[in-house]
A = this chain, B = another copy of it.
Amino acid sequence: MVGAGSEFDRGVAVREQSPGEYAADLGAGWTIGNGVNGGYLLAVLGNAGADLAAKAGHPDPFAVSAHYLTPTRPGPALVRARVVRSGRSLSTVQATLFQQHDDEEVPRITALATYGDLGTLSDEVHTTAAPPVLPPRDECFSSADAGGASDAFHPPLIDRFELRSDPASAGWAIGKPSGRGLLQGWFRLSDDRDLDPLALLFAVDALPPVTFDLGLPGWAPTVELTVHVRARPAPGWVQLRHRTANLAGGYLEEDCEVWDSTGRLVAQSRQLARVPRG
């Protein structure tokens, strides 16, 4: 299932209230701790930008770069978006999400997004990256069970998707992180809405911070997050792999790959995040 009616589509819906100004209502169901999930926000921004780019025949996000400015709260938000340049095969949009705070308009997240039409790309695939090696889903840890194991870690966000974590990267949940800086598992949206390019913007940032696997509890605020969407995912579960290799100076990079049910690498992301203060 794709489209209106799914909780993802309702969650990222925007309404153009004047040219280039889109109203959004950020759902409390997409929060974790006091904040709104960064991937969800990227999808909201990406949705507003897609409305503009689609008019030029470029409906799909190819590359979205977001810089996170201030913590976003659930509730009303305004996205201001404009086309910076529209060419033959690509359109680039600049978009910023604002919220009212103390009678002042505060920017929460600002992004550049280049859109195209994934349907026009050639079928050649020469990917040399190797997909994750995951046990079957019924041998993985289900996020649906996580509430029972630890009520402290059951934010609303976790009900928006189903995650089946590779046991080898899920040790953090029982106090035994692997120390490799690797989190991976099977993923789909909770109401079984199939992933599309917009939903991939959410998928790359839906999991806990990869620092959990390094024994560093606490949140890792995103400074910058860029996603490349490389193909429309096939229906069904996707595989997610999050890794970090450069934790230094109080910051880390976090890379995510999304592999679809046909074994194609459909999205790659990298973010710069702050190391949790513990």
Task: Judge if A261 is at the interface, Cβ distance under 8 Å.
Answer: no
Task: Classify the interface of chain A: helix, strand, loop or mixed.
Answer: strand
Task: Assess the B94–A70 pair: CB atoms within 8 A.
Answer: no
Is B272 in contact with A62, judged by CB distance below 8 angstroms?
yes
Interface-side segment among A26-34, A82-90, A141-149, A152-160: A82-90
Interface residues on A, range: 35 or more
Q: Contact between A107 and B87 (Cβ–Cβ < 8 Å)? A: no
- What CA separation (Å) do A229 and B67 show in the bound complex? 15
The stretch of A120-128, A191-199, A200-208 in contact with B is A120-128
Cα-based distance from A127 to B246 in the complex (angstroms)? 4
A265 with B246: CB separation less than 8 A: yes
Using CB atoms and an 8 Å cutoff, list the residues of chain A in contact with chain B: 62-63, 65, 67, 69-70, 84-85, 87, 90, 92, 94, 96, 107, 110-112, 114, 118, 121-129, 181, 214, 223-224, 226, 228, 230-231, 245-251, 253, 264-265, 268, 270, 272
